[in-house]
Amino acid sequence: MTEKLPLKSSTDFPNNEAWRAYVRQNVPQTDVDYVLARGRTTLFVKFYETRKQPFPESFQTELLAIERLSEPERTATLDGLNNRILADMGQFLFTAARPKPEESESVLPTTPTEIAEDLLAHLRKRNPYFAIWAHYTEGVARSGDAPAWEEFASRELGQDSGDELMFTLRMAELGKLLHRYRDGGLPLPPRTYYQISLLHHAQGKERNLQVRVLVQQLLEAMTLCASA
């Protein structure tokens, strides 16, 4: 009898869509939502590892208890835990890279569209990797002989860009989602505004992991908005 291969981790895939498609193809329908939620937890655990921080013991204890639950309680409880883990991560990042008082905006946006537009403007100004994508989409891509986005990004960053190129490509994914949130007047998930605005302060693999987590969260929140 052939043994069933163990399920791959979300960290084995280049992006969230590939991971989600893999799960839907290889997991029984009744378990899909839980496995996707557990994949999100795995990304969160990796965040703590890259920061050389222990994964909070209280969260680990809850995870062990959740695994013993049945559906649909299991997935609902894990979603709640994931939100609290994300809040803890957000507080950690905000404390580590708190903006100086003179850098704070004097006028705060209020509507979902204004908030998303404000964040896009902030990223163009403060995040050099996002600025590369913004420059490409708002200018270069409109020319008749424009190179492909990946090729343009590689040229801008130079040879052996490695993690920087991956981060820039993922910032493009994030940018596309923010445009959809802005154009659709969709509210950003709680705490994501500051997490996104501070992404460029992180380094190497850590920031790649952070942006991937945020892209997944925005996709999930958009799906919930569409089904509401």
Span 86-135, pLDDT tens digits: 777 766 665 554 444 444 444 556 788 988 998 999 899 889 999 999 99
Task: Measure the CA–CA gap between 96 and 73, rounded to whole angstroms.
Answer: 35
Among 30, 47, 136, 130, residue whose Cα is nearest residue 93: 47
- Output the pLDDT for position 108: 56
- Output the pLDDT for position 146: 83
- Output the pLDDT for position 134: 93
Q: What is the mean pLDDT of residues 66-71?
A: 90
Instruction: With beta carbons less than 8 A apart as the criterion, state whether 78 and 86 touch.
Output: no
Residues of the chain with pLDDT > 70, as a percent, come to 83
Sign of the dihedral through C-alpha 120, 84, 108, 97: negative
- Output the pLDDT for position 175: 94
pLDDT band at 183 (very low <50, low <70, confident <90, very high): very high
Q: What is the mean pLDDT of residues 44-70?
A: 85
- Output the pLDDT for position 94: 54
Higher pLDDT, 65 or 144: 65
Crossing angle between the packed helical segments 163-184 and 204-227, to the nearest 10 degrees: 20
Span 200-228, pLDDT tens digits: 777 677 788 888 888 888 888 887 765 55
Span 133-170, pLDDT tens digits: 999 998 888 887 889 999 999 989 886 677 888 889 99
pLDDT band at 176 (very low <50, low <70, confident <90, very high): very high
**Does position 13 have pLDDT exceeding 60, yes or no?**
yes
- Output the pLDDT for position 73: 92
Minimum mean pLDDT range among 37-41, 64-68, 85-89: 85-89
Task: Measure the CA–CA gap between 80 and 205, rounded to whole angstroms.
Answer: 26
Question: What DSSP line would sit under 53-100, residue for residue?
Answer: -PPPHHHHHHHHHHTT--TTHHHHHHHHHHHHHHHHHHHHHHHHTPPP
**Does position 188 have pLDDT exceeding 50, yes or no?**
yes
- Output the pLDDT for position 63: 92
